[in-house]
A and B are shown apart, each in its own frame.
Chain A
Amino acid sequence: MTAAVQLSNVSKTFGAGADAVHAFGPVDLAIEGGAFISLLGPSGCGKSTLMLMIAGLLAVSDGEIRVNGERVSKPRTDIGIMFQDNTLVPWRHVEGNIALQLELRGLDPKANQPKIDELLKSVRLEGFAHRMPHELSGGMQQRAAFCQALVHDPKTVLLDEPLGKLDAMTRESIRNDLQALWMQKRPTVVFVTHSIEEAVQLSSRVCVVTPRPGRIDRVIDIDLPWPRDLAVKRSARFANYVADIQGIFHGFGIL
């Protein structure tokens, strides 16, 4: 069976000679289709670098990455990608920004209107379709950005700290919607976060990344029932996962 995303001996070094920065790896990892994988690690350990390499937006220095069996050598168009700073453009309203993803791909937004409406509803933005980004709160902007990243039904979704700039309560609320969306569509998700709780709640597996140069220190299967609602989050097993991971980062000298 081929993994949805396969990393083989992947590493990245920026620059050359005395100024070279070894940013990431080497790392081996297989991500099975439909999984929700979190990359959990300190700032600067190379998580964003890895996301860009999986997307084909940055070349690997060594090793190889395969997505659905295909070696990544140029930007992949079959993924959905979302960054900490969203890619909503200020001259289009919410719906127009979602349509931008389709238009850039040469698809007809009108033909996809039902899908756009459904996505907006799933992130509770119905009624905000014609608002401009600057009229929305930070949380609503990220919700709109989710729709933009998902409207072309990508099989693989890369989320680089999409909730990084939001307040705790907004994060919590968007997490639940994100989980519902994933359970419904089941894309393969690679999710970057700083929050241990967030990683445990959302993921089927959590990859613990070491400080730079980032290596995957542990891969932890999160064996908790779906959906991970309040009852699950209050359970002792949930708390155990969180405590274990905290212990690992303590061992790195970070916590």
Chain B
Amino acid sequence: MASASSETARLGPRWFDPLSRWAAKSWMFVLFFIGFFLFWEVSIDLFQVPRYILNKPSEILLASRADLPRLLEYTYVTGLEAIIGYVIAIAIAVPLGLAIAFSSILRRTIYPFFVSIEMTPKIAFAPLFISWLGFGLLPKVIIVFLVCFFPIVLNAILAFSSLPDELDRFCRSTGAHWARVFWKVRLPAAMPQCFVGFKYAALNATVGATIAEFIGSDQGLGFYIQISTGNMRPDLAFAGIFLLTLLGLLMFGLVTAAERLLIPWHISVRRNA
């Protein structure tokens, strides 16, 4: 491999390489990011914003530190709802997508049904599920499942039904059994498009969990944000928002890492394109 270290002179220890490359690419963004928070920090005093409307970032940090145990506990609650719903969605949507891609009956029945459901905002069902199933974990998991399921299943259908003609013919000309063609060609070929769905759904998962908690719950970050806002504590609400952002980033990062691990060839193809 001709790595970047042979192209650019190494300035520090090996771990420094990717870091310095990232810095070279992203310094403008980092500056903007820091500038944004500095502006926020000074504007509160400058425009004399009342604290029940908005706090300074530094005050948000202090408040989060004071309430850290509860914030962490609620992050765990919301994270659990999001991850369970997400994993169940993958476990059901991928095999179902595969079945729909290969069954002409399912393609003409369930598939159009799914496409039309995709048009309705799933989150609109949330109050119903809460009223049917109460305040516990289950209704939240179901709502997360709903907002994750459709992007995964629709991308999986696309993934499994778009093998290039040439590749399909090549496989048929070998006389290989269906299962062997599936493991060696169809499944790996479908992975990139499946991951489009996984990544999209990972972003939906925390949104689903948060809104479900808004509607009815007694714990979790969505609940925390709602209560804090009601108590005119925007500092605590922002602390919750910050942790939700971290949770979303963590889930998206895990899926991206899985993508790198499972289909590294796709990443490098994409980068070269």
Contact = CB atoms under 8 A, between A and B. Distances in A.
Given A52-B169, A89-B189, A134 B269 contact: yes
Given A103-B184, A104-B176, A134-B272, A89 B167 contact: yes
B174 A104 contact: yes
Contacts of B185: 89, 100, 104
Interface stretch (B25-33, B111-119, B247-255, B260-268): B260-268
Contacts of B173: 55, 57, 75-77, 79, 81
A219 B172 CA distance: 31
B14 interface: no
B268 A83 contact: no
A114 B211 CA distance: 62
A134 B268 contact: yes
Interface in A83-116: 83, 85-87, 89-91, 100-101, 103-106
A156 to B, nearest CB: 11
A82 to B, nearest CB: 9
Given A89-B167, A134-B269, A105 B184 contact: no
A75 B184 contact: no
Decide if the interface of chain B is mainly helix, strand, loop or mixed. helix
B109 to A, nearest CB: 26
Contacts of B266: 90-91
B268 A132 contact: yes
Nearest to A152: B174
A100 B265 contact: no
B108 interface: no
A87 B176 CA distance: 16
Contact of B180 (A77, A85, A104): A104
A89 B175 CA distance: 18
Given A132-B265, A132-B268, A105 B175 contact: yes
Interface string A150-194: 000000000000000000000000000000000000000000000
Contacts of B166: 83, 85-87
Interface string B145-175: 0000000000000000000101101111111
Contact of A57 (B169, B176, B184): B169
Nearest to A148: B170
B165 to A, nearest CB: 9
Contacts of B188: 89, 91
Contacts of B181: 104
Contacts of B269: 90, 134
A8 B100 CA distance: 40
Given A87-B166, A89-B188, A57 B172 contact: yes
A178 B192 CA distance: 34
Nearest to A103: B184
A79 B180 CA distance: 19
B87 to A, nearest CB: 25
Most buried by A among B173, B181, B188: B173
Contacts of B172: 57, 75
Best-buried of A55, A103, A134 by chain B (most CB within 10 Å): A134
B184 A87 contact: no
A105 B170 CA distance: 11
B170 A81 contact: yes
B175 A87 contact: no
Given A89-B189, A104-B180, A104-B185, 17 more contacts: A75-B173, A77-B173, A77-B174, A81-B170, A81-B173, A86-B166, A87-B167, A87-B170, A89-B188, A91-B263, A100-B184, A100-B185, A101-B174, A104-B171, A105-B174, A106-B176, A132-B268
Among all A-B residue pairs, the 3 with the closest Cβ atoms? A77-B175, A104-B174, A104-B176
Interface of B: 164, 166-167, 169-176, 180-181, 184-185, 188-189, 263, 265-266, 268-269, 272
30 contacts: A52-B169, A57-B169, A57-B172, A75-B175, A77-B173, A77-B175, A81-B169, A81-B170, A83-B169, A86-B166, A87-B166, A87-B167, A87-B170, A89-B167, A89-B189, A90-B265, A90-B266, A90-B269, A91-B263, A103-B180, A103-B184, A104-B174, A104-B176, A104-B180, A104-B181, A104-B184, A104-B185, A105-B176, A134-B265, A134-B272
